[in-house]
Structure 1
């Protein structure tokens, strides 16, 4: 008998033990029965009235798993799911030319090739961050929205550098599939957009935004608003592609018309390359490798 073990033994069976120990009861196993344990009853948990409970679970699951994995600091990559890798974009253009596609189709395919350099920069940035973090006692992890395009590129770079990365997927009507480069134990799936966006920011030390559409703009401007209003601490926001963003958003007009204050345009920085982005982060934080346990410190 292990007396020390008896001293610290549970006084009550765990919920997991109770759920797994349930025996089939023929008279009470049907869908109309209320006999199932509440926390083991998916039909009950999906009731409209339990939305607050589901929101809490969606906050807690990624939080607890990342805590268990020792993840404290992240860099978030936002960007379009539609931007292809250079290889895929060039293949699509070749197929369009071979099929004698119409002018509009060819123009879109040519634009995809042009935009593909953002995929390659996101991929290289993910690799740079991951390689630089390998020797740190407190590594920084890449986080993306978990889908294709720029998101895939960020996770891919981390994967190719031999590190872990996180994907925060969202349930969509057209069913977003997680890209294959996310670390499986860090691949999450959300129902609520708001909680997904909250998790983007909770551990982030920087946000890197590549060209994108409505979803990317939503994520970018929510981050800017939270920092502008002081609801969250200031951190670097890096926007890849000055030409794209300057043509898309007239920040000078916002200042001229008083819609934002002078200085609000300094909430972000334009960058063009992965190396430039990393250099800016190095100048903001002390990102030299830190000694690990066993190094004589």
Structure 2
């Protein structure tokens, strides 16, 4: 029965916000100088300095709601440098440098080729996570910072085996476009570093950290601090490349000088290959032994 005098019980009592916003189109007071437009459609108003708390809330809510709608419950975060190249690109640059005869350029290109091994390991690790977790009751999705380098490798690995992955990009003074391997509906852009980092850890079951610079170190140490202080539950933190990390950070010196406890060295683990990283995660969470219905709480 469609008698308009007798609406069904689920009929809304009020128009939706979208419907009200559409009524403004073409109105006399809809010009750019008008204050008549609805507050939530007024970009100039939303960008005012005083509206920062509202913008922060929106930046927290949008990725959260989208992930809920997409059924994203568990993630593994891949951090690492935006500057690490795929192996084929690194080889091409080395050949080009050798052709110039510039010894400095050759040395840099050789170093970039050596570091490209991490790109390939990140790519393979993401593929392993995507494929092997697909059978779990709650599949695990790879999430990266959405940019080039190691981030691209993570999204690429998931993409190449037909899986979804997330990219949490950040607006920077120098343009950083999302890499082309992120699942479009799971590609987000952030203004606030703090909220971006919150979304990295909210659903993460592990942090896998490849060599990187200031941004990578910031993300790594924030996560370790959260776990060390008990603000976050323990989860695996895997550092790819013992030689790189031990040369960069003298962890033993921190213990010897009393800056951290000896037990804090157990907050992380060194790994060298994608397979080793997955084996540790599988052992930690029992992926290979728990029935599928028991993995929902992982």
Residue 295 (structure 1) aligns with: none
Structure 1 segment 84-233 matched on structure 2, within 5 A: 84-100=85-101, 102-233=102-233
User: Structure 2 CA distance, aligned partners of 1:57 and 1:85?
Assistant: 35
Unaligned 5+ runs, structure 1? 293-297
**How far is the alpha carbon of 1:291 from its aligned partner?**
4.6
Q: Is the 8 A contact 2:24 2:30 kept in 1?
A: no
Which stretch shifts more, 17-26 or 144-153?
17-26
1:12 maps onto 2:9 in alignment: no
Deviations, residues 21-58 of structure 1 (Å, cap 9, x unaligned): 323124x2332210110001111000000000000000
Q: Is the 8 A contact 1:238 1:269 kept in 2?
A: yes
Which stretch shifts more, 8-17 or 122-131?
8-17
Residue 45 (structure 1) aligns with: 46
User: Structure 2 CA distance, aligned partners of 1:103 and 1:243?
Assistant: 25
Residue 56 (structure 1) aligns with: 57
- TM (norm. structure 2) is 0.95
User: Structure 1 CA distance, aligned partners of 2:264 and 2:90?
Assistant: 36
Residue 296 (structure 2) aligns with: none
Give the secondary structure class of the aligned counterpart of 2:262. Answer: coil
Q: Which runs of 4+ in 1 moved over 6 A?
A: none
**How far is the alpha carbon of 1:105 from its aligned partner?**
1.3
Q: Is the 8 A contact 1:135 1:290 kept in 2?
A: no
RMSD of equivalent CA atoms: 1.4
Residue 81 (structure 1) aligns with: 82
User: Structure 2 CA distance, aligned partners of 1:6 and 1:90?
Assistant: 67
Give the secondary structure class of the aligned counterpart of 1:6. Answer: coil
Residue 269 (structure 2) aligns with: 269
Seen in structure 2, the aligned counterparts of structure 1 residues 290 and 174 have a Cα distance that, compared at 3 Å, is: farther
1:70 maps onto 2:71 in alignment: yes
User: Structure 2 CA distance, aligned partners of 1:5 and 1:129?
Assistant: 50
User: Structure 2 CA distance, aligned partners of 1:127 and 1:242?
Assistant: 22
Unaligned 5+ runs, structure 2? 294-298
Which stretch shifts more, 241-250 or 1-10?
1-10
**How far is the alpha carbon of 1:103 from its aligned partner?**
1.8
Q: Is the 8 A contact 2:210 2:239 kept in 1?
A: yes
Give the secondary structure class of the aligned counterpart of 1:188. Answer: strand
Give the secondary structure class of the aligned counterpart of 1:260. Answer: coil
Q: How many residues align?
A: 290
Give the secondary structure class of the aligned counterpart of 1:31. Answer: coil
Seen in structure 2, the aligned counterparts of structure 1 residues 5 and 266 have a Cα distance that, compared at 3 Å, is: farther
**How far is the alpha carbon of 1:278 from its aligned partner?**
0.1
Seen in structure 2, the aligned counterparts of structure 1 residues 258 and 74 have a Cα distance that, compared at 3 Å, is: same
**How far is the alpha carbon of 1:104 from its aligned partner?**
1.6
Which stretch shifts more, 7-16 or 237-246?
7-16
Give the secondary structure class of the aligned counterpart of 2:83. Answer: coil
Seen in structure 2, the aligned counterparts of structure 1 residues 291 and 258 have a Cα distance that, compared at 3 Å, is: closer
- TM (norm. structure 1) is 0.95
